[in-house]
Structure 1
Amino acid sequence: MQYLKTVIYVDNVEEVLDFYYQAFGLNATELTESADYGELNTGEVKLGFASHPFAQAQFKQSYIRAQPKQPALGFELAMRCKNVSESYDKAVNAGAEPLMPPCNKNEHTQAYVRAIDGTLIALVSECTR
C-alpha cells in the first residue's frame, strides 16, 4: 500500500488553489471543469481540494465541514521551508492567519499559520544537526 494524497474540503476550490500559490508557491496541476476538485504540485504525495457540495453528495453526513472562523480540526499540514521567516511573512501577506511566529524548536525553526480554508499549516526548516 502507498499513501497517495490528502484531500481537503473547502468552500471555493479555485480561491484556495490561488491562495496556496500566493502563500507557498504551489502550482495547481489539476482543476476540474466544474471547479469542484483541484490538486497542487507538492512532490510525490498530492494535495487535493474538493468542494463541500462534492463531499456532501459523496458522504452525506459522514464528515465535519471545516469552518475558517471556528477552532481548527485536529490535523495540520507541514511544509519544509528554506527560510521559515520569509515563508511565514509571505503566507500572512497572502491572507493566512498568523498563529505562531517563527521560533527555534529543538534543532529547527518552526512557525504556524492557518490557511483561508481553516487548515493549520506548520512551516518547518531543515534540521540543523
Structure 2
Amino acid sequence: MKLGYVILYVPDVPATLAFYEKAFGLKRRFLHESNTYGELDTGTTALAFASEEMAGQNGLTVRFHRPKETPAAVEVALVTPDVAGAYEHSVKAGASPVHPPKQKPWGQSVAYVQDLNGVLVEICSPISA
C-alpha cells in the first residue's frame, strides 16, 4: 500500500487550484472539465481537490473547512528551504497568517497559514536525516 492522493473537499475547485498556484508556486496537473476535481503536481503523492458536492455523491458526511472557523485537526505540509520567504509570499497572495516561522528543537523551521477555504497549511523546511 502507498499514499496516492490527499483529497480536500472545497467549495470551488478552480479557485482553490489558482490559490495554491499563486500562494505556494505549485503547478496544476489536472482539472476535470466539470470543474469538480483537480490536482496539483506535488511529487509522488498528489494534492487534489474535489467539490463539496462530490462528498455527498461519494456517500460521505463530512464537516467542511470554513475560513472563519477553527481549522480541522489536519494540515497540508509543504516543504521548502525558504520557510520565511514562502510564508511572506503566501500571506501576500491571500493566505491567512496563523503562526510565523519558528525554529523547532529538532532543527526544522515551521510556519502556519490557512488557505482560502480555512485549511491549515504548514510551511516547513526539510527534516535533516
CA RMSD in angstroms comes to 1.3
1:44 is matched with which residue? 44
2:27 aligned partner, one-letter code: N
Structure 1 stretch 100-109 or stretch 6-15: which is displaced more? 100-109
Q: In structure 2, how many angstroms separate the alpha carbons of the residues matched to 1:97 and 1:90? A: 11
Question: Runs of 5+ in structure 2 lacking a partner?
Answer: none
Are 2:60 and 1:64 aligned? no
CA distances 1:23-82 after superposition (whole Å, capped 9, x unpaired): 11111111011100000000000110001112122225x211221211111101111111
TM normalised by structure 2 equals 0.93
Q: Secondary structure at the match of 1:15?
A: helix
Query: What aligned pairs does 1:5-44 form with structure 2 within 5 A after superposition?
Result: 5-44=5-44
1:82 is matched with which residue? 81
Q: Secondary structure at the match of 1:19?
A: helix
Question: Runs of 5+ in structure 1 lacking a partner?
Answer: none
- After the TM superposition, list the runs of 4 or more consecutive aligned residues in structure 1 that deviate by more than 6 angstroms: none
1:5 aligned partner, one-letter code: Y
CA distances 1:66-116 after superposition (whole Å, capped 9, x unpaired): 212111111011111111110001110111100001111111211100111
1:121, distance to aligned residue in structure 2 (A): 0.8
1:128, distance to aligned residue in structure 2 (A): 6.0
1:126, distance to aligned residue in structure 2 (A): 2.7
Q: In structure 1, how many angstroms separate the alpha carbons of the residues matched to 2:102 and 2:62? A: 34
Would you say how many aligned residue pairs link Structure 1 and Structure 2?
Answer: 128
